Structure 1
Amino acid sequence: MASASSLSTSSRSAAAPAAAAPSFRQRRWVRMAAPLVLALVLAVLPLVLPEFANETIARIGVFAVAVLGLNVVMGYTGQVSLGQIFFLGVGAYVTAYGVQNDWNIVLVFVLACLIPAVAGLIVALAAARLGGLAIAMVTVALPIVGVPLAKRLSEFTGGSQGLSARFADNPEWTGLYDDQWQLYIVLVIGGIVFLLTRYLVRGKYGRAFAIVKGNENVASSMGISPYRYKVLAFTIASLIGGVSGFLYMLVVQYTSPETMSFGHSIELLAAMVIGGAGSIVGSILGGAWYVLVPQLTNAVDASLTALLQGAVLLLVLFVLPGGLASLPRALTRGRRRSGADRGVGAPPTTPSSTAGSGTAAEGSERERQGPA
């Protein structure tokens, strides 16, 4: 019995370090090296890719930022917003107008961020007290009103003709081509926005957003004002929309009232859902979806573009309800489930279980024999 007990103890002590060992992704050197490797890849990528690939990645970056803004207000705070494309359009118009009037490009960037943020704050102050379909209707009005407003204010927007602006020609000292220079700017500005948003949603504000999303009554009981944080989230999303509008003009170099149409707003919402709501990585995947899927469906059959996009959307949501960002978790659950299925049957015999059964058998034999 003593040998069996010691064997059981030794087996438990041997299993403990294995259970406590961190996974590969959780190791400290991996967490430190991964950002450096990613930064190195992004620094080299524009230099080795062809022009078309650089332009496509730059467009993905533009709409990944736009989806990120939508994720702040919907994915993390749980507020319905169908007007994020409006703030992208405002940022694009401010950028185009400033460039055409030879304003300093830094001032143009600041205004392209602040003006949509102020507009979003004004809307949020009125709409954040609402909920459900009411706030959805308020945000739906933004692109619906924005399109005719842009056509009417032709002195600033160019009317139905729109505005074009080119301001991202590469400096001669860089030795880069225009597509490479533009992609570097998108990567730098977009990367900063993603990092700041990541710190935001993982800090105290992100925890407050999550509580408001879960239950506003619980948030109020904890001293967290749902109204305040909904206004904050909507304003931040509007500011990020303005950043995406600046990048849009950087890459596309043209904007018109069609830029902020309601159809594009729905496509942006679909991109967020497909990428993964409440996910930083999902915002990047949503941007890739927004840019690449229409190109792929047009290559298959231009007359069936909408039908094919809808079919792919339904297929992805049916297989991955949490969006593409949930694919690693789904694969992990699938491996665990398959491993459990293979282990169905007699439980494996371990030294501890053997020792325990031996001890129980000896005790039963002594009971049958009675006291000595």
Structure 2
Amino acid sequence: MSNPSSLVRNKFGRTALIALVAVVLLAAPLFLPPFANQTLVRIGVYAVAVLGLNIVMGYTGQVNLGQIFFVGLGAYVTAYGVNQGWNIVLVFLAACAIAGIVGLLVALAAARLGGLAIAMVTIALPIVGVPLAKRLEEFTGGSQGISARFSDAPDWSGLYSDQWQFYIILLVTVIAFLLARNLVRGKYGRAFGVVRENEAVAASMGVSPYRTKVLAFTIASIYGGASGFLYLAAVQYTSPETLSFGHSISLVAAMVIGGAGSIVGSLIGGAYYVFVPQLTNAIDPSFTTLSQGAILLAVLFLLPEGLVSLPRVIRRLTRRGSTRSIPGTDPPQDRFAAPASHGGGPGGTRTN
């Protein structure tokens, strides 16, 4: 039975830790240089994209290799709305809604498929999206791309633009993660888990695998649209390159490395997506792809549940090591000692 005092202490500790993290995040952009703020901003952008991907792949077990399409779609909708003079809140809602509607239409057609078939459908999204973005020049700027400035710091804020952008991304990212946490811990999260494990069992329990997968894919698309809005807030420019299929594969790798089926793993995945290419490019740009592939293989072999499981693995190994070091009730026996005699001579009686 749990000790009430220990539960109170644990709850107080978690609350104190959350408060400390909140204070650090709110104060950090005021003291960090612009480059550090921009790096943290990009982590928030891609953490939201990875989070959406995690909902559909990590929690529901449905293949989605086209998440970057919805990120790019959200970015284009944001750029168009800003250039048309729309209210910024309306722009954000439009980016999420349009990405969600497109995701719903794709999911209605693809959710009945499985395995390789649905993978091919999602792969087609960024492949079709790039030439489509180039052709719709009136809305997308064509091959040259389109820019939109809306995240510069207002005069009344007293902040620099990189600090203002940090707070915009922080606000949206925190809300997105809290909503996702509540989602996966509620009845929909349980439905996602049952469908992921066994669709036949889910159907026997009254959970429709088709509707559940459609819901998960649509939510992932909405998160992609929100990430696209944040991307434009951070970069203030987008082009067909944003929709590149290579970026979509990198998002999947980031989700796996961070931890599939984990909210915190999505944040780690966003950090991986930003930091590792910077590090590998600084070492040797020609080996960037090779080194990232090697990192992915290493994590899959050593930490199949992703980097988020590293503390748990360390605790397990530490506990195993401490258990081995605890002496037993009997002293260790010398393998090379002669067996004790059962007679009555010296040393002939064993003492327990």
Structure 1 residue aligned with 2:249, among 252, 266, 284?
A: 266
Higher helix share: 1
- Give the equivalent residue in structure 1 for 2:29: 46
Structure 2 residue aligned with 1:190, among 170, 173, 189?
A: 173
Gaps of 5+ in 1: 1-15, 349-372
The structure number with the bigger radius of gyration is: 1
| Alpha-carbon separation, structure 1, partners of 2:287 and 2:130 | 26
- Give the equivalent residue in structure 2 for 1:84: 67
Superposition deviation, residue 35 in structure 1? 2.1
**Contact 1:25 1:31 survives alignment (8 Å):** no
Do residues 94 (structure 1) and 77 (structure 2) align?
A: yes
* Aligned-CA RMSD value: 1.7
Matches within 5 A, 1:121-270: 121-270=104-253
Letter in 2 for 1:60: I
Superposition TM-score, scaled by structure 2 size = 0.91
- Give the equivalent residue in structure 1 for 2:296: 313
Letter in 2 for 1:289: Y
Superposition deviation, residue 347 in structure 1? 6.6
Letter in 2 for 1:295: Q
| Alpha-carbon separation, structure 2, partners of 1:109 and 1:25 | 40
Identify which range, 336-345 or 37-46, moves more after superposition: 336-345
Gaps of 5+ in 2: 332-352
| Alpha-carbon separation, structure 1, partners of 2:8 and 2:308 | 17
| Alpha-carbon separation, structure 2, partners of 1:62 and 1:120 | 19
- Give the equivalent residue in structure 2 for 1:300: 283
Do residues 107 (structure 1) and 110 (structure 2) align?
A: no
Superposition deviation, residue 343 in structure 1? 3.3
| Alpha-carbon separation, structure 2, partners of 1:256 and 1:22 | 56
Structure 2 residue aligned with 1:326, among 287, 299, 309?
A: 309
| Alpha-carbon separation, structure 2, partners of 1:261 and 1:106 | 27
| Alpha-carbon separation, structure 2, partners of 1:347 and 1:219 | 52
CA-to-aligned-CA distance 1:114-150 (integer Å, 9 cap, x gap): 0000000000001111111111111111111111111
Superposition deviation, residue 171 in structure 1? 1.1
Superposition deviation, residue 43 in structure 1? 0.8
Residues 347, 229 of structure 1: CA spacing in aligned structure 2 closer, same or farther, 3 A cutoff? Answer: farther
- Give the equivalent residue in structure 1 for 2:40: 57
Matches within 5 A, 1:21-36: 27-36=10-19
Superposition TM-score, scaled by structure 1 size = 0.86
| Alpha-carbon separation, structure 2, partners of 1:253 and 1:202 | 35
**Contact 1:87 1:242 survives alignment (8 Å):** yes
| Alpha-carbon separation, structure 1, partners of 2:102 and 2:267 | 25
- Give the equivalent residue in structure 2 for 1:351: none
Q: How many residues align?
A: 331
Superposition deviation, residue 25 in structure 1? 9.7
CA-to-aligned-CA distance 1:315-360 (integer Å, 9 cap, x gap): 2222211111001111111112112222375479xxxxxxxxxxxx
**Contact 1:24 1:30 survives alignment (8 Å):** no
Superposition deviation, residue 48 in structure 1? 1.0
Residues 42, 321 of structure 1: CA spacing in aligned structure 2 closer, same or farther, 3 A cutoff? Answer: same
CA-to-aligned-CA distance 1:247-278 (integer Å, 9 cap, x gap): 00000111111101111100000000000001
| Alpha-carbon separation, structure 1, partners of 2:42 and 2:192 | 29
